[in-house]
Amino acid sequence: MTLLVRQYQPADRDDIADVCLRTAIAGGDASGRYSDDALMPEVFALPYLAYDPSLVFVVTNGHRVVGYVLGVADTRDFVEWWRREWAPGFAARHPRPGPPTGREPAFTEARLLEAGRDPDRMLVAELDEYPAHLHIDLLPEAQGQGLGRRLVDVLRAALRGRGVPGVHLGFDPSNTGARAFYERLGFVELPSSTPTAPLFGISTG
Ligand SMILES: CC(C)(COP(=O)(O)OP(=O)(O)OC[C@H]1O[C@@H](n2cnc3c(N)ncnc32)[C@H](O)[C@@H]1OP(=O)(O)O)[C@@H](O)C(=O)NCCC(=O)NCCS
């Protein structure tokens, strides 16, 4: 099946939430792991669609979205927007952790709720050089075909066009495949990176 990269459209929203959920635990499926399958997308995907959809690019198979890259150009501005526009609704929808699933990952539901309420976690030390950040996820059927590289290239070009010097990202240290991918693309580990919270960056040039 032919896979194509294109700009995000509003009708892609549910598919993007689904891809986020199914790649959320070190690249693997998080379905049923938290009390509410909406939680992961509400923290790691949907805010990006609401904030700046022009920096969202998707991979489609002609029927549905099977992958995406989500970007923000200015993380400081995004944090302010999140505090004002996203955190209040999120906190109202998810006031406390739901009943335990018995299958909860190391990144607990309590920490996930905290991440939704507190955007300051995104204020990394290297924002002057790498003001943008991204999330990228592809379903297994779309992996290993050069599409991750294409998505990162497309986002870097869009950021470069806006005069943004660099883009960073964080990832789960147990996601060794993601680390190998980022290193292969030329991302470098940033000074404030730690073994438990790796942080990589790359220039847009
Ligand atoms: C990680 C991910 C985005 C990579 O995208 P991809 O389309 O599979 O990767 P590509 O095919 O574009 O690979 C680009 C390069 O990285 C290398 N690479 C990709 N995955 C790799 C891996 N697991 N180990 C070693 N190298 C890898 C490829 O060999 C390729 O090298 P080349 O271009 O020199 O031939 C994708 O596999 C994915 O979404 N995985 C699940 C979700 C996830 O982990 N997201 C990241 C969360 S931080």
- Average pLDDT per block of 10 residues along the chain, 205 residues long: 96 98 96 97 98 98 98 98 98 96 93 98 98 98 98 98 98 96 98 97 97
State the pLDDT at residue 22.
98
Residue nearest to atom 34 of ligand 1 (CA): 184
Residue nearest to atom 13 of ligand 1 (CA): 146
Q: Is residue 196 one of the residues assigned to a domain?
A: no
Q: Determine the structural domain holding residue 113 and report its residue range.
A: 4-125+134-164
Q: Is residue 185 one of the residues assigned to a domain?
A: no
Domain count, the chain: 1
State the pLDDT at residue 1.
81
Angle at 102 between CA 100 and CA 108, to 5 degrees: 65
Q: Is residue 175 one of the residues assigned to a domain?
A: no
Query: What are the tokens at 55?
Result: 């920096």
User: Cβ distance 67 to 139 under 8 Å?
Assistant: yes
State the pLDDT at residue 13.
98
In order, the DSSP letters of 52-84 are: -GGGEEEEE-SSSEEEEEEEES-HHHHHHHIII
Q: Is residue 61 one of the residues assigned to a domain?
A: yes
Q: Is residue 38 one of the residues assigned to a domain?
A: yes
The pTM (predicted TM-score) of the whole model is 0.98
Angle between helices 176-185 and 147-161 (to 10 degrees): 50
Instruction: Tell how far the Cα of 96 is from the centroid of ligand 1, in angstroms.
Output: 35
**What CATH number does residue 155 fall under?**
3.40.630.30
Instruction: Tell how far the Cα of 151 is from the centroid of ligand 1, in angstroms.
Output: 11
State the pLDDT at residue 163.
98
Q: Is residue 172 one of the residues assigned to a domain?
A: no
Q: Is residue 70 one of the residues assigned to a domain?
A: yes
Q: Is residue 188 one of the residues assigned to a domain?
A: no
Ligand 1 mutation pick, 181, 193, 199, 200, max ligand atoms within 8 A of CB: 181
Pairing of strands 199-203, 166-170: antiparallel
